[in-house]
Amino acid sequence: MMLLDRTTAKAPLIMGIVNVTPDSFSDGGAYDALAQARRLIAEGADVLDIGGESTRPGAESVSAGAEIARVVPVIAAIAAEWPGAISIDTLKPNVARAAFEAGATIWNDVTALSHTPESLDVAADLGGDVILMHMQGEPRTMQSAPRYDDVVAEVESYLLQRAVSAVLAGVARERIWLDPGIGFGKTLDHNLALIRATDRLASHGFPLLMAASRKRFIAALEEREGGLPSGAGERIGGTLAVHLHAIASGAKMVRVHDVLAMRQALRVWSALQGHL
């Protein structure tokens, strides 16, 4: 089982996104998922995150059966030819179990293992890494006027509570990652506050994942400053800026669509820091 090593000299890790969905905000499912996975591997991905249900704002849910039919063949094919780590991006424990049987070793859950009463127990039984993400609301409604009194404190508290619940359920502490959930029930200012607080969120002994790739808040910032909003595929520069800031502030992994650009930016940044 290929588990993630938080002490690896290769950190920070790059997680490449493979959406096996017809309605992803970024790519619309208009490509062959296995070909995309192979391209991301060639570009230097350390982890592949396979998702069969869109979590974009307004997205409709799909059945577990449909989700399994989408992701399992892709995971099995990748696992048969690549020794790297494979993540399943799902909120459903039965989908996670099927994905692990096919070769996944990481469960990336946007509900932080709160979608069903059995999610925590299934995660413990699977024995892999888990990524606990914060989301206010659920995908269909999460961007309908999200509100916080103190977004950093509330997200921080929620993630730590979920981490404790996972440990109590039997998930190994060293297998838990945290994700502040950029763009999931947050306004532009909420997202910026969380990104600025990366060092704080990464200070609790759990490695932090930052996932801001091509997110809508980048276009919202352009609009606020009087510019035209960029399309999803035009937000690579903003994505790199966020992720390099997060890495410099302690993030151990970044989740991206554009692995080649992220790998190049990380290589140059590392050289400038004297790490290469």
Catalytic site residue 255?
yes
d(CA 165, CA 120) in angstroms, rounded, equals 8
Starting from the edge strand earliest in sequence, which strands make up the sheet with 106-109, in order?
A: 176-179, 129-133, 106-109, 85-89, 47-51, 13-19, 253-256, 209-210
Q: Rounded to the nearest 10 degrees, how much is the dihedral formed by the CA atoms of 191, 263, 41, 38?
A: 80
Catalytic site residue 215?
yes
Active-site choice (70, 92, 215, 252): 215
Q: Which two tokens stand for residue 206?
A: 């759990």
Tokens 């909420």 appear where? 190
| HSE value, Cβ hemisphere, 13 Å, CA-based, for 241 | 11
Q: Residue 66: what are its φ and ψ, rounded to 5°?
A: -65, -40
Q: What angle do CA 57, 114, 18 make, to 5 degrees?
A: 50
Active-site choice (70, 175, 235, 255): 255
d(CA 131, CA 21) in angstroms, rounded, equals 21
d(CA 85, CA 221) in angstroms, rounded, equals 34
The residues assigned a catalytic role are 215, 255
